[in-house]
Structure formats: structure tokens, C-alpha cells
Chain A
């Protein structure tokens, strides 16, 4: 059974933009709330679970600070202390950017090679960018309104989401590749419809299993990994959506544009 999914191809793009644009505005006006992994500084967590943010201080200064606080509450202890020099922060930012660029480049080469056409690579990377913009935008808003910070783990989550997004897209593209091999008279529009129809159940089921796991981590997992799991969850949902509703429609739109030129 083939459903005419591609009829609404421009609508999907509009829907994506509805989510991306507010996030993009937030990114431009509020930016991201960066943790000390990027900015440098110190964070002290006390036994009564208060968290103190400071400029870069040493262990000695931290101990003095805790001693002062102990005058009020004797049982107070320093549970965790983290301090990062400003130069290290800048370095992390640079490394993150190079990791994302390198990942995009290698994945572009991998997909273009596996599917023998550059347009597959380009559209898959565009869908991947879509997912990272959704993720960054939502975290920019979360940072502005709920003080949720972006740390090194978030970078890991983002890169994982990028690979998941591509992973998911490849499964749908694989159907188009198969159809290209076995039939010669189908247009990209028709192939796209058939591929999306045939993989829809699989995409839903697969995403559901990963979402079950991540939802458990967000709701029940430890505090230290909660936002990490949340980032993965948002990315997985976006990545699952973007395969049939961004990566594939983009292929159809690519052909629309090509035909119009002719």
C-alpha cells in the first residue's frame, strides 16, 4: 500500500521551519547557556545539594569558602568541585566545531559513495543539520527559560544524534536505491512515496524502542546524565521525523528544481 506522502512535501518543510525558527531566534538573541566546560570557571556542589557557580578558583579558595559556610551549618561538606581554566574552555569549543565539521564531511562522503549520487549525501546532511538545529534551538530556549546548561556531554549527545539521524535516513534511502535498481520507469516522487510507505512501520517501531530506553533514562536516571539523555531523546525524535519528512522530501524537491530548470 503506497500513500502519497510526497504530496505534502513543502508542508513538512514548513512544519520543520516552525520548530527551527523560534530556536534559531533564541540562538541569535539569547545564545546558548554554556557550562564551565566552555567558558572556564568553577562549580561547587555542597552536601545540601546547593550549587555555587564561581569564577576560576583553586581548591584552597574553595575550601576556604566552604569553611565560611560551615559557620552557619556545621554538617555542610563539599561533595564535588570542578574548576576549569579559561584557556581550556576555548579549546573545547574549537574541538567541538572541528568534530562536527569532520563528522559532516566524512558522512557526506560515505553516503554519496554508498548511494552513488551526491544528492543523497547532500540531502542526508541537510536533514542532519535540521536535527542539530532543532536540538540546539530547543536547548537554547531551555537554557534561557530553565537555566539548563550545555556541557561536554551535550556535545557527545549532539554528535550521537547526528549519526542516528544519518543512520535512520540511510534505511529509507536504501529503499530508493533498491527501487532504482529494480525499476527504471519510476520518478523520484513515486520512489520516495513507495520508500516512505514501506519503511514507516519500521521507523516508528525502531524509534519507539530507542525512545523507551531514553525516556527511562530521563525520568529515572541519575541527575548527572538527565540532560544528556534529554538531548538524546529530543535528537532521536527529530532524527526519526527528519528521515521520511525532511531527507526524502528534499530528494523530491531536488528533482522538482532540476525539472523546472529544464
Chain B
């Protein structure tokens, strides 16, 4: 019994924690106690805990792009793919799409990008923006006296493009071969670029040169010396990540790859929200019917299992916020299905319990036997569902299996649902029953085994 008490406190702790995670973050309430004003504010969680909605709920556009690697050498393809990803992320950020995602995938010997843009209103405009091939140019800045400044300070107004472009660049890599061993970016020019670069560095010795990607400035190193070898190093107080980022972006210019649309899906937000509301209402009604059924058929035991189900809902919602799980319509369906399966462990246990009671065992012993016997089947059965869940979720990113976001969303909610339902179905319901379930007409112990 003491053991159960400990578990009960643990369950209460988990519930309170889940409740805290589920409450709105800006909750505060004040109350007058003994003529004194008290303010209660919940400590804030360091991260936004709103549900993360998938594209089918928030509305927006998903595009799968084929990256044409025909002109890129075998060894440079991954670099080119990372570069084009980086460039498109940059464009999307500049366009002002929040929570956009750009992911790479290699499937069926094709190099792909999957771009998700929530809340896009003009799909064609976004497509044009994404679809351009990256253009890298070297330019020289033009300064003019700023009329607003009394001391006549110089202000950057425009750039003069030079004849040196990304086509002349062979590759950019991160290097540590500098005097102070700090990360830097080394540039290697092609034969065509060597002379152009030499001319540029001679002309602008001691002055900055701007490197422009898609017409916006990437880096503006100052020329330290005339470089005729076609090898240059950009130094600066870079962290390794900054140096990598710069090299990746420069490579986008050096390894220009055309991209083509493989598939595209636009969903309006209103459609998504309507479906979500309908599904949630449907789930609520389904749940209510299940709860009534359990109470009617199993009485007090059923009622306790419904409480277990509420704990299940609370923990699930908290985990969805915490991980965070991207909610999609199939994901919501997966959740609703897992509720049905959560009840299953309880039904299995209750049926076993009834059998033991029929066999003449006293209630407390029947309860323990019921849990013990049911466990074997619950374990093997749920393992089977988890196996299928993992095949759908494809955690190792096997290319011969599905990688679609909606299928994965469904699989994730199903797997989570089963794991949480094992906890609530076995641990929570069992502890509640041990402590709170005291049937009136307990049969006397019959010793005839």
C-alpha cells in the first residue's frame, strides 16, 4: 500500500506538471485576501508552448523541388545541395515568412528540397522567388556624402558590379590556415576568374569589395594585397558556424543548380481550421460515448478508467507542446484512434478481473491477478502496433520507405499515444484502483484451487 501511495504522488506530480504546461502562458490572477491584494503569476516556461500546426491546419504552401545536378561533379553534389538549401532559406527569410522550413532529401537518386511556407497568400510570387538560380557577383561600393549629416559623412548608396561573378569561382571552403589559426573562408577561382580577380584587387587595394548574392550583400572584405594566384582568404572574427555559413552561401554562386517543381500543394487556412474544429468536435463526442459506455458497463471501475483517460489526455497535450509535435489532420486522427486503443488495456484488465472474481478470488487479489495476466497480451499487442508505427515514421530516413510529413505526423501521434496509454492504462488506473476501489460485496476467500 505504501508503494501505491508513492506512485500516487508521482502521478499527481505528473498531472500538475502537465497542467502547468497546458495552461496559457500569460495567466495571472489577483485576489483580495484580508483586504490585501495578492497577485499570482505562473513562472514562465522559457519557450513558446503553443501547439505547432502543420500546413494543412495553418494554411500555406508546400513545394517539392528537384535540384538538377547534371552539370555538377559527383563529389560536389552534396555541397551544392546544402548551398541551394541555404540560399532558399535566406530568400524565404527575406520575404518575411515566419516558421518556414526548407529541408533537403535524397530519394530515388534525385536531390530534392522540400519547402514549407505557412500563410502564403500569393503562391506564384513565392514560387518565382524560390525558383531563381542563385546569382553571385563581386561589386564595388559607391559612397556619397550623406546630405542629412552635417559633417558630410559618407553613406553607401549603390554598387558597381564588376565582371567577376559566381561562374568564375571554383569553390569556397572553411580554412584555419591563417596567422592566428582562426576560422576563415578560402576562395579558389577558376582560370577565367584569376585575372579578373587580380585586376579587381589591384584597383581596389585597401578598399572593400562587396560580394552580392541575389543582389543583397553577403560579405564586404577589404582587399589587403593584390592577389594574382586566384586563391584568396576572407578573414574576420568568424566563429566556425559563421565561416561555414559564408562558405555555403558562396558555393551557391560557385555551383549554380537549376531547380524544378516536382510537386506542390496549397491549402487555405480557413479550410484547415474548419476541418480541425470538425475533427475535434467529432473526437469529443466519440470520447464522451466511450466514457459513458465504460461507466455503464464496468461501473466504478469504468469511471476510474475514464479518470485515467483524462490523465492520458492531459499528458498527451503537454507532450505535444513540449516536443513539439506538428499537428496535422491525420495526426489528430491518430490521436483520436490512440484514445480508442488506450481504453483497450483497461478493458483487457477488467475482463481478466471479472474472470478471477467468477473463479471466487477476493477483489484485491483478483485485481492484481487481472493486471498480471493481462500484461502479457498488452505487451505483445502494443509492440506490434509500435513496429508498424516505426515503419510509418521511418526514423532512420530509409529512402525506400515513406518520408511524407503527413504520414509521419500520424505515426508519431500513434506511437506517443501507445506509450502514454501504457503508462495511464497500467500505472495510473492500477494505482487509482488499488487506493480508491473498494467493492461492497467482496466474496469470501474460497480455498479450492
Name the distance in Å between A18's Cβ and chain B's nearest Cβ: 28
* Minimal Cβ-Cβ distance residue in B for A232: B337
Contact residue among B265, B270, B286, B388 (Cβ-Cβ distance under 8 Å from A103): B388
Instruction: Bits for A10-32, please: 1 = Cβ < 8 Å to B, else 0.
Output: 00000000000000000000000
Instruction: Bits for B360-399, please: 1 = Cβ < 8 Å to A, else 0.
Output: 0000000000000100110011111101110110000000
A206-B344, A216-B286 given; A85·B330 CB < 8 A: no
Q: Number of A interface residues at 8 Å Cβ cutoff, please give it.
A: 72
In the bound complex, do residue A102 and residue B64 qualify as a contact, i.e. CB atoms below 8 Å apart?
Answer: no
In the bound complex, do residue A159 and residue B392 qualify as a contact, i.e. CB atoms below 8 Å apart?
Answer: yes
Residues of A within 8 A of B407 (CB): 152-153, 155-156
Residues of A within 8 A of B435 (CB): none
Name the distance in Å between A123's Cβ and chain B's nearest Cβ: 14
* Minimal Cβ-Cβ distance residue in B for A63: B124
In the bound complex, do residue A224 and residue B387 qualify as a contact, i.e. CB atoms below 8 Å apart?
Answer: no
Residues of A within 8 A of B283 (CB): 213, 216-217
Contact residues of A between 81 and 101, Cβ < 8 Å to B: 81-85, 87-88, 91-92, 94-96, 98-99
In the bound complex, do residue A59 and residue B286 qualify as a contact, i.e. CB atoms below 8 Å apart?
Answer: no
A152-B404, A202-B347, A222-B276 given; A85·B340 CB < 8 A: no
B contact patch SS: helix
Instruction: Bits for A218-234, please: 1 = Cβ < 8 Å to B, else 0.
Output: 01111111001100100
Residues of B within 8 A of A114 (CB): 380, 383
Name the distance in Å between B259's Cβ and chain A's nearest Cβ: 13
Residues of B within 8 A of A198 (CB): 355
A contact patch SS: helix
A111-B384, A156-B407 given; A78·B348 CB < 8 A: no
Instruction: Bits for B217-245, please: 1 = Cβ < 8 Å to A, else 0.
Output: 00000000000000000000000000000
In the bound complex, do residue A225 and residue B381 qualify as a contact, i.e. CB atoms below 8 Å apart?
Answer: no
Residues of B within 8 A of A164 (CB): 385
Separation of A175 and B341 alpha carbons in the complex (Å): 19
User: Does B343 belong to the interface (CB within 8 Å)?
Assistant: yes
Residues of A within 8 A of B336 (CB): 213, 217
User: Does A248 belong to the interface (CB within 8 Å)?
Assistant: no
Residues of A within 8 A of B198 (CB): none
Contact residue among B264, B330, B355 (Cβ-Cβ distance under 8 Å from A156): B330
Instruction: Bits for B306-346, please: 1 = Cβ < 8 Å to A, else 0.
Output: 00000000000000000000000110110011011101100
In the bound complex, do residue B392 and residue A156 qualify as a contact, i.e. CB atoms below 8 Å apart?
Answer: yes
In the bound complex, do residue B333 and residue A107 qualify as a contact, i.e. CB atoms below 8 Å apart?
Answer: no
A98-B401, A209-B343, A228-B330 given; A220·B278 CB < 8 A: yes
User: Does A171 belong to the interface (CB within 8 Å)?
Assistant: yes
Residues of A within 8 A of B391 (CB): 99, 102-103, 106, 159
User: Does A7 belong to the interface (CB within 8 Å)?
Assistant: no
Residues of A within 8 A of B124 (CB): 59-60, 63
Name the distance in Å between A208's Cβ and chain B's nearest Cβ: 7
Residues of B within 8 A of A99 (CB): 391-392, 401-402
Instruction: Bits for A180-219, please: 1 = Cβ < 8 Å to B, else 0.
Output: 0000000000000000001101100110111011111101
* Minimal Cβ-Cβ distance residue in B for A83: B264
User: Does B141 belong to the interface (CB within 8 Å)?
Assistant: no
Residues of B within 8 A of A106 (CB): 387, 391
Name the distance in Å between B380's Cβ and chain A's nearest Cβ: 5
A88-B64, A99-B401, A102-B401 given; A225·B333 CB < 8 A: yes
Separation of A162 and B385 alpha carbons in the complex (Å): 9
In the bound complex, do residue B387 and residue A103 qualify as a contact, i.e. CB atoms below 8 Å apart?
Answer: yes
Question: Of B8-16, B90-98, B289-297, which binds chain A?
Answer: B289-297
In the bound complex, do residue B387 and residue A170 qualify as a contact, i.e. CB atoms below 8 Å apart?
Answer: no
Between-chain CB contacts (< 8 Å), 6 pairs = A88-B263, A111-B384, A170-B377, A221-B275, A224-B271, A225-B275
Binding site for B on A (CB under 8 A): 45, 58-60, 63, 78-85, 87-88, 91-92, 94-96, 98-99, 102-103, 106-107, 110-111, 114, 152-153, 155-156, 159-160, 162-164, 166-168, 170-171, 174-175, 177-178, 198-199, 201-202, 205-206, 208-210, 212-217, 219-225, 228-229, 232
Q: Given contacts A81-B266, A85-B261, A92-B404, could you give 14 more A-B pairs where the C-beta distance is less than 8 Å?
A: A58-B261, A80-B266, A83-B263, A166-B381, A168-B381, A171-B377, A205-B347, A212-B293, A213-B340, A222-B275, A222-B278, A224-B56, A224-B275, A225-B330
10 A-B pairs with least C-beta separation: A222-B275, A163-B388, A216-B286, A210-B340, A174-B377, A213-B286, A220-B282, A84-B263, A221-B282, A222-B278
